[in-house]
Amino acid sequence: MAWRTPKTWVDQETPSADDFNTEIRDNLNALSTHSHGGAAGDGSTTLDSVDYIDLDEGGALSAPAGGHTRFAANNDGTLRYYADGGSEKTVSDTAHSHTIASSTETKASLGTTSLTSTSYTNTTTATFTPTDSTGSAKYVTVHFGQGGYRNVTGTDGTIYIRLLKAGVQTVEVSATIGASVGDGVAVYTSTVYISPTATSTTFAIEHKKGGTHSGVSMFGLGTIARQVRCQ
């Protein structure tokens, strides 16, 4: 049943039962079942040009119907919402700040040496204790490592380096060194540890060569660990 434009009454007109049924009953029935389709008497599916909405302040929200999100106001003026399948959240305009800061880096390096092993070797370690991130302040640790290599015999091949945290490999990269005497290559990588445990931890780098090539001189294998506060 659709909404019907109400009749305009005139003086001394006597309404009948049919008039009441058509003008009052039927339109009330239409209002009770309307679908907000936008037609006359049905309203709209959207709010247009609304200046503000008054919300009653209340207590905890219950879960909304499927596919909906429920909004309400707190007694302190903040807003709360409860999304379908989620939990009640508070939207606050309380001022807060983030502190961005970097600690002094901890580093270690290895001098010039010959790289002959096809297994990881020459472990070079920096050790420090990350700051606790279980409170409001949050920290990450940036771990960087690199090695420089030079071909001294004219055999090409592949150089590998890896980073380790507390003895466990976290990242590995490789690069090819040229076949001519004097060819060089730098191999480097980095990774980030989010909110690491606040205990004394080793941050290390190791390297190895691949294949059967020989005569690789290494200069400057090193690692750096630096803590950054991000909140």
Q: Which domains does the chain have, with CATH numbers?
A: 1-44 (no CATH), 57-96 (no CATH), 101-229 (2.60.120)
27-66: pLDDT as tens digits: 888 777 766 665 665 666 677 778 888 777 777 778 888 8
The pair of structure tokens assigned to 34 is 């309307």
Q: Give 105-143 pLDDT, tens digit per residue.
A: 899 999 888 888 899 999 999 999 999 998 888 999 999
Number of H-type helices and E-type strands within the chain: 2, 13
Residue 198's pLDDT is 94
- Residue 27's H or E segment, with its range, is helix 26-33
> Which residue has tokens 């309400």?
72
Q: Is the dihedral of CA 122, 128, 129, 133 positive or negative?
A: negative
1 pLDDT higher than 70: no
- Pick 38 or 103 by higher pLDDT: 103
What percentage of the chain exceeds 90 in pLDDT? Answer: 39
